[in-house]
Structure 1
Amino acid sequence: MALDGIVIANIVKDLNDYLLNGRIYKIAQPENDELLLTIKNNREQYRLLLSASASLPLVYLTSENKPSPMTAPNFCMLLRKHLSNGRIVSITQPGLERIINFQIEHLNELGDLCRKTLIVEIMGKHSNIIFCNDEDMIIDSIKHISGQVSSVREVLPGRTYFIPETQQKSDPLSAGPEDFEKNVLSKPVPLSKAIYTSYTGISPLAAEEICFRASLDSGLPASALTPDEMLHLSHTFVRFMDDVRNGEFEPAIIYNGKDPVEFSSIRLSQYADLKTVTFSSISEVLETYYSEKNTLTRIRQKSVDLRKIVQTALERNRKKLELQLKQMKDTEKKDKYRIYGELINTYGYSLQDNAKSLEAVNYYDGETINIPLDPDLTPLENAKKYFDRYNKLKRTYEALSKLIQETEEEIRHLESISTALDIALAEEDLVQLKEELMDYGYIRRKHTAKKTKITSKPFHYISSDGYHMYVGKNNFQNDELTFKFAIGEDWWFHAKGIPGSHVIVKTNGDKLPDRTFEEAGRLAAYYSSGRNGQKVEIDYTEKKNVKKPGGGKPGFVVYYTNYSLMIDPDISGIQQV
């Protein structure tokens, strides 16, 4: 979700609670488009991050400091000159715009009290931090925007600051039911789009939520609503905006398993089937969400090359398997040719010279069949011809059976690596996966390169009953957990018939409670390729029943005694060490 006007309103409310009347103690510019202000208020110290990054503009309170360059940039030096020890007298948001105005009171060089405004615009690639005097004249900005870059507004020292009105949108905070009907009904677009294109600060997610609360399909054309439906929707919209106007926010992150899906300042009824984690402030939400999202994004970016290698190899092997299965289907005729040869040997004495076919009773099923013959060959030669075809197809069948088995094992191995890439959370997890790809020839190992030190460790959880549970992050760790770490009476879990992690539960000789079996099953379901499903079937057995076949690839095991359970892949309540 983008930082829409509703989230900005939540940020402004929090900043007023913590920073109003506080004094600016330090000003730093850790990045070219980012400020970090240290503010003291009510005997507490706060850090306020202001980012005008084109890719990720943000405003939130943070506990973390950031290193600054040895020489402060000019914009930072200017702010220090004017705003050091300045007092924040107001923090406001114009309408529901994605803009925050910090009005700061300070003493000038002559000791006179004056006011300046620091304006933070959160507008995607157009984001900026602008410093103005009390007459709305721009003193400077973190990004200079000339007339050559933007024909709408110049952001340069000496220009007058104004909010560009590039889209004709209404202020939702002052909208009533009649105004809502007039704005929305006139647009020949889907309902949710009609809402967010009519009002400032309403994101597509917020528009979807309004439609959901009104129990209306957001994809319907706005003009298709009945008068009663439109009245109900307009009242839902007004109540929704009343919550925003009154500051009744519920900052939260929506998770699908462990993955953050959305964040919001309002309760999202449309995600009732997913896990919602609430926070005390929107700053915590933003810091947590983007920290987790950045971790996943960074690992995905670093694993792009590995994923490409795995995907290419998978596609090649799947095509090979498809061709092999097609060739195998052709070998199904082999028994027919053997029977033809046998029947010609049995009944061939009755054939006339130059016969083109033989009609005979198949003594295997009692049916009469017609066998084509080459009239230029003797019965014995015709029989030999069919036996030769049979033997050739039999050899092909035997060779293909082995090749198909090898190709299927290769596909399973690659799919298991692909699943391991999906659950990798750190760079050291990728190192071991790269080593595995090198060991099996998917990546050429450089002769001069030293073998990389492996520091990745399995996931470690503790069940509600206090038992230690371990989850392999890749095939090497799966083998190590199952055959080196676990002992005979420990329990082993794995998703049935799909790639996934080995889960080991240390029993310490105890009989495991049912709740621990369920939690270990959830771990096996979550750390498998079925993690996005509603239910996953899990096989589990004592470790002593799990064997490693000779020549088997890493992570591949066999077992003949096991129990099964169906479980959902939700591990939100399981404690991770």
Structure 2
Amino acid sequence: MALDGITIANIVKEMRDALLGGRIAKIAQPEADELLLTVKAPSGQRRLYISASASLPLVYLTDENKPSPFTAPNFCMLLRKHIANGRIVSITQPSLERIIVLGIEHLDELGDLCRKKLVIEIMGKHSNVIFCDEDDRIIDSIKHVPAQMSSVREVLPGRTYFIPDTMHKADPLTISESDFAALLRQKPSALSKALYTSLTGISPVVAEEICFLAGLDSALPPSELSDDLMTHLYRQFSLFLDQIREEDFHPAIYYRNNEPQEFASVPLTHLEGCAYQEFETISQVLSSYYAVKNRITRIRQKSADLRHIVQTALERNRKKYDLQARQLKDTDKRETYKVYGELLQTYGYQAEPEAKEIEALNYYTNEMIRIPLDPTKTPLENAKRYFEKYNKMKRTYEALSHLIVETRDEISYLESVSNALDIARTEDDLAQVKEELTQSGYVRRKFTKKKEKFKSMPLHYISSDGYDMYVGKNNFQNEELTFSFASGNDWWFHAKKVPGSHVIVKSQGEDMPDRVFEEAGKLAAFYSKNNGSEKVEVDYVEKKHVKKVKGQKPGFVIYHTNYSLIADTDISMLKEVSES
């Protein structure tokens, strides 16, 4: 979820409480599109982090510092010249725009009191930080936007600053009921889309929430709403916005299956099935939310090379398997050729000279069959030819029957490694997967005297009834969990016939409640290739019945006496224990 106008309103309130009246003690520019202002306020020293990154624009209060380049960029030097030690006298948000304006008082070179504006625009790829004088003349900006880049607005020194009105949206805080109805009804799209495309600062997720609170289908076109329903929607919309007018914010992150899905400054009651965590400040929300998102993105980037290796090997083995399957199918006629040869040895004397076929009794089925003949050969020579075909196909069948099993096992193994890359959370997890691929011959080992040590640990969950449940993140961990960590009476779970994690439940030597089995099944389903399916079949058995196959790759097991259950992949009810 991007920062919408409501989230910005929450940030502005927080900034007012923390920074208003404070003096700017330090100005840094850690990256080309980032600013870090250190402010000494009456409540203490705080830092304001501003990012105008096209991919992740952000603004929030933080206690963390970031290293700055040895030589400060020009924009940073300009800000230091003008507003270093300046006092923040106002923090405003025009309407519900994604814009924050800092009013700053400072003394110029002659000692006269001057006022400047630092405008922070959080607008996706168009985000910017613009420094203006009191008359809205642009002094400079962190990003220059010439006419060649934008026909809507130039952002260059000397130009007049204004907010571009490209979408012609209305102010949700002041719009009347009649204007609200007229604006929505002219939109041919769904109701939720009409809301966020017509009104400033309303995001798609907030539009869904407004429709949900009003009890209306968000996919319904606004033109189909009666006057009474439109009045009801406007009243619900106004009640919702009262939270923003009264600055009644409740910052929270919403989680689905322990992964952050959304954040918001107001309650999102329409997100059914999501757990949520409330925070004291929106800055804590943004810092926590994007730290997790950045970690996931970083791990995916770092795993790109390993993914490419695994995917290439998978494609190669799948092509090999398809070819072997076709060749194996071609051997289906081998027994027919054997019968042809035997029948020709028995009845071949009945064949007419240069005949192209012979009809004979198949004494295996007691039916008459026609046997094609090469008219240039004798019946015995034809029989010899069929036996040669039979023997060749028999040898091919025996070889392929062994090879196709090996290829199928290799595909299953590579799919299990791919699944391990999907659930990897740390660089140590990736290092363990890389070591596994190295031992399997897919990655060349680099010579080093230092022995590789892994800090990666299995995932640890607590069931609703207090039982410890462990999930292997890769095949090494699966093997360790099943054959070293688990005891004989512990329970073992795995998604049926698909790559996935081994799940071990420590039974404590007790008969566990049915709910524990259901929750462990959910874990096995979630951490499998079938994650996302509504129903996943999961096998479970006491660990003592799980056996390692000699010579097989790590994580591969067999079991014969097992139970099965059907599970979904919702694990939001489970508490995860952080790695120590």
**Which amino acid letter does the alignment assign opposite residue 64 of structure 2?**
E
Q: Is the 8 A contact 1:493 1:521 kept in 2?
A: yes
**Structure-2 residue corresponding to 1:457:** 456
- 1:437-456 → structure 2 map (5 Å cutoff): 437-446=437-446, 448=447, 453-456=452-455
Deviation for aligned residue 1:128: 1.9
- 1:10-409 → structure 2 map (5 Å cutoff): 10-41=10-41, 43-80=43-80, 82-106=82-106, 114-147=114-147, 149-213=149-213, 222-223=222-223, 233-409=233-409
**Which amino acid letter does the alignment assign opposite residue 462 of structure 2?**
S
Change over 3 Å in CA distance of 1:440–1:267 after alignment to 2: same
- 1:553-572 → structure 2 map (5 Å cutoff): 553-572=553-572
**Which amino acid letter does the alignment assign opposite residue 541 of structure 1?**
V
Deviation for aligned residue 1:419: 0.3
Deviation for aligned residue 1:407: 0.8
Distance in 1 (alpha carbons) for counterparts of 2:15 and 2:215 = 34
Distance in 2 (alpha carbons) for counterparts of 1:162 and 1:414 = 56
Distance in 2 (alpha carbons) for counterparts of 1:132 and 1:191 = 39
Residues 223-232 or 425-434, more deviating: 223-232
Distance in 1 (alpha carbons) for counterparts of 2:434 and 2:180 = 56
**Structure-2 residue corresponding to 1:417:** 417
Distance in 1 (alpha carbons) for counterparts of 2:451 and 2:431 = 7
**Structure-1 residue corresponding to 2:470:** 470
**What SS does the aligned partner of 1:135 have?**
coil
Q: Is the 8 A contact 1:146 1:155 kept in 2?
A: yes
Change over 3 Å in CA distance of 1:186–1:515 after alignment to 2: closer
Show CA shifts across 1:549-574 (max 9, x none): 12211211111222333333334422
Residues 93-102 or 55-64, more deviating: 55-64
Distance in 1 (alpha carbons) for counterparts of 2:236 and 2:360 = 83
User: Structure 2: which 5+ runs fail to align?
Assistant: none
Q: Is the 8 A contact 2:458 2:477 kept in 1?
A: no
Deviation for aligned residue 1:237: 4.1
**Which amino acid letter does the alignment assign opposite residue 62 of structure 2?**
T
Residues 94-103 or 206-215, more deviating: 206-215
Deviation for aligned residue 1:213: 4.9
Change over 3 Å in CA distance of 1:8–1:338 after alignment to 2: same
**Structure-2 residue corresponding to 1:575:** 576
**Which amino acid letter does the alignment assign opposite residue 28 of structure 1?**
A
**Which amino acid letter does the alignment assign opposite residue 182 of structure 2?**
K
Distance in 1 (alpha carbons) for counterparts of 2:46 and 2:515 = 43
**What SS does the aligned partner of 2:548 have?**
coil
**Structure-1 residue corresponding to 2:2:** 2
Change over 3 Å in CA distance of 1:263–1:352 after alignment to 2: same
Show CA shifts across 1:88-147 (max 9, x none): 333211012111112234555666655432221112232222233333333443334445
**What SS does the aligned partner of 2:37 have?**
strand
Change over 3 Å in CA distance of 1:219–1:308 after alignment to 2: farther
Distance in 2 (alpha carbons) for counterparts of 1:328 and 1:148 = 63
Show CA shifts across 1:218-246 (max 9, x none): 55655565666655555554444444434
Residues 496-505 or 220-229, more deviating: 220-229
**What SS does the aligned partner of 1:271 have?**
coil
Figure out how many residues of one structure are paired with residues of the other and give that number: 576
Distance in 1 (alpha carbons) for counterparts of 2:325 and 2:526 = 32
Q: What's the TM-score, normalizing by structure 1?
A: 0.88
Show CA shifts across 1:277-297 (max 9, x none): 433332222111211111111
Q: What's the TM-score, normalizing by structure 2?
A: 0.88
**Which amino acid letter does the alignment assign opposite residue 424 of structure 2?**
A
User: Structure 1: which 5+ runs fail to align?
Assistant: none
Distance in 1 (alpha carbons) for counterparts of 2:400 and 2:156 = 73
Deviation for aligned residue 1:317: 1.5
Q: Is the 8 A contact 2:459 2:473 kept in 1?
A: no
Distance in 1 (alpha carbons) for counterparts of 2:466 and 2:167 = 58
Deviation for aligned residue 1:409: 0.5
Show CA shifts across 1:514-566 (max 9, x none): 55544443333322222222343332333332222122112111112223333
**Which amino acid letter does the alignment assign opposite residue 28 of structure 2?**
A
Deviation for aligned residue 1:424: 0.9
Distance in 1 (alpha carbons) for counterparts of 2:362 and 2:180 = 83
Change over 3 Å in CA distance of 1:125–1:575 after alignment to 2: closer
**Which amino acid letter does the alignment assign opposite residue 436 of structure 1?**
E
**What SS does the aligned partner of 1:370 have?**
strand
Distance in 1 (alpha carbons) for counterparts of 2:506 and 2:416 = 24
Show CA shifts across 1:186-208 (max 9, x none): 34445444433333223344344
Q: Is the 8 A contact 1:177 1:238 kept in 2?
A: no
Distance in 1 (alpha carbons) for counterparts of 2:534 and 2:188 = 37
